[in-house]
Amino acid sequence: MKTFARNLPISSGYNLVGALSHIPAGRPFRAFRLWRLLTGERGLGGVLFVFVALLSIVPLARLSYAALVVQGSLDLDRIVDVLAGRRVIEATINTVWISVSATVLATVLGTGAALLVGLSDMRARTVWVFGFVLPLMIPPQVTALAWLQAFSPASPVLGPLGLSLPPGTRHPLYSAGGIVFLLGLYNAPLVFLSVRASIQRLPASLMEAARASGARPAQMLRDIVLPLIRGGILAGAALAFVSAIGNFGIQAMLGIPARVPTLITLIYRQLNSYGPSALNDMALLALVLAGLTVVGMSVTGWLGRRGDQRVDGAAHPPRLPLRGWRWPLGVLAWGYLAVCLVLPLSALLGTALVTGYGQVLSLDTITFDNFTNALFHHQGLRQAFITSLWLTVLSVVVLIPVAVALGYVLTWRRTWIARALRLASEMAYALPGIIIGVAMILFFLRPMPLIGTAAYGTVWVILAAYLSNFLALALRPILGAYGQIDRALDEAAQLTGATLFQRLRDIILPALAPAAMASAILVFMTAINEIQTSVLLVSSRAQTIGPMIIFLEEAGSSTLAAAVGCLMVGLVLLLMGISLIFAKHLPQGVLPWRD
């Protein structure tokens, strides 16, 4: 071969195809075909399928198996024993009623806010929307901590008013009602975003026709607007329910001290218990939680679909003048922000600035030790933050290209693989993070086939959990952007002979870049403070920053926890601020905090 090539006249170099055609069919060609197969669409679909399967389908299957089967046999007695236990039944009932009540609260608040923002000529709307959506971006454990501090003597709002609790009294938020209240406030922005999107799709003429028929604004709202945005309200309620039932931060921070067991805190505590079937019992509880989540989603989904009216209009709905209502509604709206943001966050800051919990914040007691400790001296905190940071960056780096490729398959291919991929990624996102955590423990507990050691207890499990958990989050803005790309652009490139990867790189990616940027921001912000999955997966070898607050609070260093919380909120605000600088270049509606 080599000699043959060397003896070729130089001119034949121009005719490489002709030269190659002399080579008898053999290995090089087969390799070439394999490469084509891998880089073609089927290959891409296959690779994505393996990715999603390994990160969500297989672990979840492993979880179900461990929940039901102990040592190779399906032991129904054990299952009944565990599920009929007094604590489990109590926790299940608590979980259901707390999540449902919190969902109702979130739905009422979120819908009201969306109607006010979407349909009225309210002033300073942009600022208000930012403030309303902000709680959603703050890690729930920080929210819980901030609310707990709101009644402490260090609170700059309630303290001077004499409304803070005297030391030793039971905190009002340490109760089931407190959990419902905080979960409701926390998830209201989810409903808000969903309902606002529905309102923006509402054609103005439908409302104007009602006015022309003699309907007053209130009648129009009742008879026309609310029925038409019902789908959006229920979709938002479904999100709020899923988020409430799986919210570990708030349920743990309030529920454990208040002795209000819920499934999620029971699973967490199960991790520390011993016994031959402790892991299997944990898996079983996780399965119950997953079942409740799916039931909740299905019920709201069914309610939403029933009689759902598809409306699509390009025109933005009219802004109704508030007139006499401007003042009362304005006071209500801004008062809400004051109560939900200023009260807890100022208290959090206040606690972070005193040396010991319970101290009154004054010029004598003010100290920055907690911040310097958190930033420079606390070895564990720094280590945890660095781990979180690189885990997050790695997640973004892996997930965004995967989401771009996955979006291509999901948007423009109607195969069963596409549908299965979508379902699997949505499933991993919708299920509470703690379930993914349990699934990952079970999946990685045994030694890995190639490496020979177990990955459990290392950061790699946390990374796997992040990838599994946030794929759907990364996918969402990208799928939205795919919907806006004219498919003919891709097809025209295909006709010129561009391969799939060339098309993705040269045609799709430039159009998708803003949305990919947005989804990178969303994943980054969610993963950096993540607690739901990592709380189960952290070990002495691998700590992330998210659960640190709970550990610090449990260890009694409330002031240090508050300082860490303040830094987390600061980081969130910084990221949101940076994203707003780029907001002009991002597609409309991908940044939830932007009106």
Partner 1 sequence: MGAIDINGLNKSFGQTQVLQDVSLAINAGEFVAVLGPSGCGKTTLLRCLAGFEQIGSGTIHVGGRAMSGPRMHMAPEDRGIGVVFQNYALWPHMTVAQNVAYGLKIAGMSRRDRHARVTHALALVEMGALAERRPADLSGGQRQRVALARCLAMQAQVVLLDEPLANLDVHLRGALEDEFAAFHARTGATMFYITHDQSEAFALADRVAVMDRGRIIQFDRPEALFRQPRCETVAGFIGEGRVIEAEDIVPIGAGRARARVLGAEVELRCAPSETRRKTARISFHPDDLDILADPHRTTASGIGADITRATYRGGYLRTQMTAGPQNRVALTMNIAAHAGIEPGQHITVTLKDGWVIPEARQATG
Q: Which residues bind partner 1 (CB under 8 A)?
A: 203, 205-206, 208-216, 219, 223-224, 227-228, 307, 309-311, 313, 318
Give the integer Cα–Cα distance in Å for 85 and 266: 12
CB 105 to partner 1: min, Å: 26
CB 199 to partner 1: min, Å: 15
Which tokens go with 160? 């001077």
Residue 62 contacts by C-beta under 8 Å, 6 or more apart in sequence?
439, 442, 443
CB 302 to partner 1: min, Å: 17
CB 129 to partner 1: min, Å: 22
The region that residue 318 occupies, defined by phi over 0 for left and psi between -120 and 50 for alpha, beta otherwise, is: beta
- Which sign, positive or negative, has the C-alpha torsion 555, 559, 562, 566? negative
Cβ atoms of residues 201 and 114 within 8 Å: no
CB 215 to partner 1: min, Å: 5
Can you spell out the DSSP letters for 189-210?
HHHHHHHHHHHHHS-HHHHHHH
Nearer to partner 1, 78 or 326 (CB): 326
Nearer to partner 1, 206 or 580 (CB): 206
CB 55 to partner 1: min, Å: 40
Q: Could you give the dihedral angle defined by the CA atoms of residues 390, 393, 395 and 397, in that order, rounded to the nearest 10 degrees? A: -130
Q: SS3 for 20-41, per residue?
A: HCCCCCCHHHHHHHHHHHHHCH
Nearer to partner 1, 1 or 218 (CB): 218
Eight-class DSSP state of 446: S
Strands, E, within 83-141: which ranges?
none
Nearer to partner 1, 13 or 321 (CB): 321
Nearer to partner 1, 313 or 556 (CB): 313
Nearer to partner 1, 208 or 426 (CB): 208
CB 482 to partner 1: min, Å: 27
Nearer to partner 1, 3 or 309 (CB): 309
CA distances (Å), 293 to each of 85, 242, 324, 395, in order? 21, 6, 43, 25
Which residues share a beta bridge with 320? 120
CB 236 to partner 1: min, Å: 18
Amino acid, single-letter form, for residue 536: L
> In terms of Cα–Cα distance, which of 438, 444, 428 is closest to 533?
438
Nearer to partner 1, 223 or 554 (CB): 223
CB 315 to partner 1: min, Å: 9
CB 214 to partner 1: min, Å: 5
Which tokens go with 443? 């999946």
> In terms of Cα–Cα distance, which of 526, 545, 150, 540 is closest to 350?
150
Nearer to partner 1, 77 or 312 (CB): 312
Q: Is 454 helix (H, G, I), strand (E, B) or coil?
A: strand
φ/ψ (deg, to 5) at 354? -115, 165
Nearer to partner 1, 63 or 225 (CB): 225
CB 332 to partner 1: min, Å: 23
Strands, E, within 256-315: which ranges?
none
Helix segments in 202-277, DSSP class H: 204-212, 217-220, 226-228, 230-245, 248-258, 263-270
Cβ atoms of residues 301 and 238 within 8 Å: yes
In the numeric block, the tokens 């781990």 are attached to 387
Q: Which helix (H) or strand (E) holds 376?
A: none
Nearer to partner 1, 318 or 587 (CB): 318
Nearer to partner 1, 200 or 458 (CB): 200
Residue 333 contacts by C-beta under 8 Å, 6 or more apart in sequence?
113, 116, 122, 128
Give the integer Cα–Cα distance in Å for 79 and 93: 18
CB 197 to partner 1: min, Å: 17
